[in-house]
Structure 1
Amino acid sequence: MTTPTFVFVHGSNSNSFSWGPLQRELALLGHRTLAVDLPGHGFAAAYPRAYQAPQDLAALASAPSAFAGLTQADAVQHVVDVVRRAAGHGPVLLVGHSRGGFTLTGVANAVPDLLHRVVYISAWCCVAADAAEYGRSPENATSVLGATTGVLVGDPGALGVLRMNWRTADPALLDALKLATLDDGTDAEFLAFLATLEPDEGLDAGTDRVDPVAWAGLAHTYVRLAGDRSVPPALQDRFIREADALLPGNPFDVRTLDSSHVGFLVRPAAAAELLADLASG
């Protein structure tokens, strides 16, 4: 097999920068990688002046967003374009984390012939329901994200986005955010991670569900994060179970990492070894 390329898709309020440590480890193992910034993310993200210190929360609640007019379909098309270019150089392993799973599913449905494998890392993989239904399901009942809603600023309906103030100094809210994201990390690691996040995230998660025709011959791996408090293992297992029922002849290859929601990004050695093994298969 010619040299494969890992293409990484970030999660909510994140960007390509979050993959840097994992890309470093994979490069040291001899692998080629690239990380995308979905539309409205990375250097295209909006950081209103009101977000700077000292913050003006009233102004932040109404400042325009770079997400105006952007949809989940735009995210899917952006990654399809990246995959198409990367596939010209060899096999593509498309890897997504958390909310990035919505984009992974759309891309896999659209261009399965361009993908060597898709890899969900504790990522949303809608099969028998939409995101809202999964969010209300018993499998998601133990998610601690409900305790973090204090990070929201402004009216999502008026702004057209979910806007978060990651620069909060509220100690109780910071404790809740650490539990949700990096419960297995130090306080210093958590604050460093928080500093990488962007204020705005789109409201549109799309409607893509696993297409059994497109996925009939597509290799797919689900990497469970056993310590995830945001996307609970029970919900991860439901995604796997429902996809396997839809594709009985082509089930998920399931792996497990002992990690919180973002711990594998902060300490990426084990994840890099796992992904390197997938590239050789």
Structure 2
Amino acid sequence: MTAPTFVFVHGAASNSFTWAPMQRELALRGHRSLAVDLPGHGFGATFPAAYQAPQDLAALATVPSAMAGIGHADNVAHVLDVVRQVREYGPVILVGHSRGGLTLTGVGNAAPDLVDRLVYISAWCCTADTPAGYQASAENASSALAGLGGLVAGNPMELGALRFNWRTADPELLATLREAVLADGTDDEFYAYLNSLEPDESLDVGEERADPETWGRIPRTYVRLTGDLSMPIALQDRFIADADALTPGNRFDVRSLDVSHAAVLVRPGEAAALLSELLPK
């Protein structure tokens, strides 16, 4: 049997580089993997000189973004192209973290025969409502991200993108952000993770929901991160319950890790072992 390839899709303001520790762990276990940079990310990202030190916050708020005009459909099309190429060499396990789950769903809707398993790691999986609807839901009300509006570095409508100043020195914002994404990490891990993030992210998350006739045919796993304060466990559990109600004959295989939102990227050993368990015996 041809060995499957894990294809990783990153979350918001992120890139393929954040999957490097996970890919290392999988390689040490003898597994193949590939991490995708979504359009406008990785070496295609916008890093204005005003974002460097010393920062020029006024200029940072106005520098045009390469992300302007890029949306959900572009992400799906890009990953579909990658998956088509990888699928020529064997099965594909498509893995998404956080906002990357939106792209997973779009790919599953469009081309279920190209994907052998979908894996959502504390990721958005919209079935009964749109992304905006889930974001406004009671299950998301406790998200620690709600207190991070001060990170926004410009008017999104003028920039055509969300721009965040991850290099802020504001102690209150940094404390809130650490609690939200890496409460179980060290100071060094937290700052290293922040330095892997990109300032700009697309405004367009789309309104796509899972299609039971296509996406609903693909075996799927949801990895709950029970220590995640940015994506509340109540919201993760609602994603699972809504998806199972949509396709009761093909329910989520549910796993749990007691870590924060970013710990699965920073210290991926446990998650890599879990992913290895999903491979055919």
Task: Give the TM-score normalised by the residue count of structure 2.
Answer: 0.99
The aligned counterpart of 1:38 is 38
Aligned AA (2:209)? R
Note the C-alpha offset of 1:280. Answer: 2.5
1:163-184 deviations in Å (ceiling 9; x for gaps): 0000000011000010111000
Cα distance in 1 between the residues matched to 2:87 and 2:28: 22
The aligned counterpart of 1:239 is 239
Task: State the secondary structure of the residue aligned to 1:280.
Answer: coil
Cα distance in 2 between the residues matched to 1:234 and 1:157: 31
Cα distance in 2 between the residues matched to 1:50 and 1:216: 45
Matches within 5 A, 1:30-109: 30-109=30-109
The aligned counterpart of 1:114 is 114
Cα distance in 1 between the residues matched to 2:224 and 2:28: 24
Cα distance in 1 between the residues matched to 2:200 and 2:260: 23
Q: Does 1:265 align with 2:265?
A: yes
Task: State the secondary structure of the residue aligned to 1:154.
Answer: coil
Cα distance in 1 between the residues matched to 2:150 and 2:137: 22
Aligned AA (1:18)? T
The aligned counterpart of 2:190 is 190
The aligned counterpart of 1:17 is 17
Return 5+ residue gaps in structure 2 as ranges. none
Matches within 5 A, 1:110-149: 110-149=110-149
1:251-278 deviations in Å (ceiling 9; x for gaps): 0000001110010111111100000111
Cα distance in 2 between the residues matched to 1:51 and 1:35: 26
The aligned counterpart of 1:254 is 254
Task: State the secondary structure of the residue aligned to 2:279.
Answer: helix
Aligned AA (2:170)? D
1:88-117 deviations in Å (ceiling 9; x for gaps): 000000000000011000001011101110
Task: State the secondary structure of the residue aligned to 1:94.
Answer: strand
Please identify runs of 4+ aligned residues in structure 1 that moved more than 3 A. none
Cα distance in 1 between the residues matched to 2:132 and 2:69: 22
1:212-259 deviations in Å (ceiling 9; x for gaps): 000343100000000000111100000000000010100000000111
Note the C-alpha offset of 1:68. Answer: 2.2
Cα distance in 2 between the residues matched to 1:109 and 1:96: 15
Task: State the secondary structure of the residue aligned to 1:14.
Answer: coil
Cα distance in 2 between the residues matched to 1:267 and 1:74: 30
1:20-47 deviations in Å (ceiling 9; x for gaps): 0010000000100000000000000000
The aligned counterpart of 2:215 is 215
Note the C-alpha offset of 1:120. Answer: 0.2
Aligned AA (1:79)? V
Q: Does 1:164 align with 2:164?
A: yes
Q: How many residues align?
A: 281
1:167-218 deviations in Å (ceiling 9; x for gaps): 0000110000101110000111000000000000000001211100003431
Which shows bigger deviation, 133-142 or 7-16?
A: 133-142
Task: State the secondary structure of the residue aligned to 2:215.
Answer: coil
Cα distance in 1 between the residues matched to 2:216 and 2:156: 38
Task: Give the TM-score normalised by the residue count of structure 1.
Answer: 0.99
Q: Does 1:6 align with 2:6?
A: yes
Cα distance in 1 between the residues matched to 2:3 and 2:54: 48
Aligned AA (1:5)? T
CA contact (8 A) 2:80 2:107 kept: yes
Cα distance in 2 between the residues matched to 1:45 and 1:62: 16
The aligned counterpart of 2:29 is 29
